[in-house]
A and B are shown apart, each in its own frame.
Chain A
Amino acid sequence: MSDRKLDFKQRGLNFEMLMWIFTRFSALGMYLLILVGIIGAMVMGARTHMNMADVLRWGFMPNISHVSNTELVDIAPWETIFWQLIGSALLLLAVSHGVHGLVSIVDDYITTPGGRKIVRLISIVMVAFFSLVGLGILWNYKPF
């Protein structure tokens, strides 16, 4: 059933198709980054100073505020640029994956071309807004 007889140019390489494949690959990327976060937490002393819920919370977003109320003695290794970069990558993947998911849900209910254009404009604003808010939290820079 999966014999592809279509030429590459005829397969319909458009934005929707690219976002379809992006949704899959960003999911794989998020699994990888969460795994990096959990393994990193184990290396940095989570085995003896954190419980499972704290480790998962750190894994879902490696931000220092997620471990500040655990029994960790030294939180210096948890707030390095490495973890800020991992967190930023996870944030950008999650925001674009999530907002695209919202668009594809809304597309099932808003079916006019004009309505869909408005939905897309709103989605672009949402991606920009949540990316900036998240990066502001992660890098501790709050202009507003």
Chain B
Amino acid sequence: MRLSRNVSMATGLRYKGKGPMLTFVLHRIGGLGIASFVGIHMMSSYFGGAIGQAANVIYQNWAFQLVIFFCALFHAINGLRITIMDLWPRSLEHQQEAIWIEWAVFIPLYGTAAYIILINGLAG
């Protein structure tokens, strides 16, 4: 049952899935980001040592915090939409509207947090 794909990478990148496709990709990137951050964080706090200290320096960097907060918040909000829509399948007809609501929740929350992270980070 090997999957045969007749689509090249370039064609795949040109796929115009629009809003739902964008949330799918960001959900994936967010999940990978959380998994790698939590995995490294757990290892460094368990084993400690010089490598653990080096990892902690990375987490305290404002650029890293901007990225990881984007991953966590988007994954949480998009995951809530997916959970609600999958448990009440009739709402799937309104997926487009649900994604608009999702961005309306995400942008103010992330914008506020990003502003605070940036202000604190650039102040030193």
* Interface residues in chain A, defined as those with a beta carbon under 8 Å from any beta carbon in chain B: 1-2, 24, 27-28, 31, 60, 65, 94, 98-99, 101-102, 105, 111-113, 130, 133-134, 136-137, 142
User: Could you jot down 13 A-B contacts, CB within 8 Å?
Assistant: A1-B93, A2-B92, A24-B82, A24-B83, A31-B76, A31-B80, A99-B35, A102-B31, A105-B28, A133-B46, A137-B42, A137-B45, A137-B46
Interface residue from A27, A94, A105, A136 paired with B46 (Cβ < 8 Å):
A136
Main secondary structure of the interface of A (DSSP, over half): helix
Chain B at the A interface: mostly helix, strand, loop or mixed?
helix
Interface size (B, Cβ < 8 Å)?
26
Other A-B pairs beyond A60-B72, A111-B3, 5, CB < 8 Å: A27-B80, A102-B32, A130-B39, A133-B42, A134-B42
The residue from A31, A65, A105, A111 contacting B31, defined by CB atoms under 8 A apart: A105
B48 CB, nearest partner CB in chain A, Å: 10
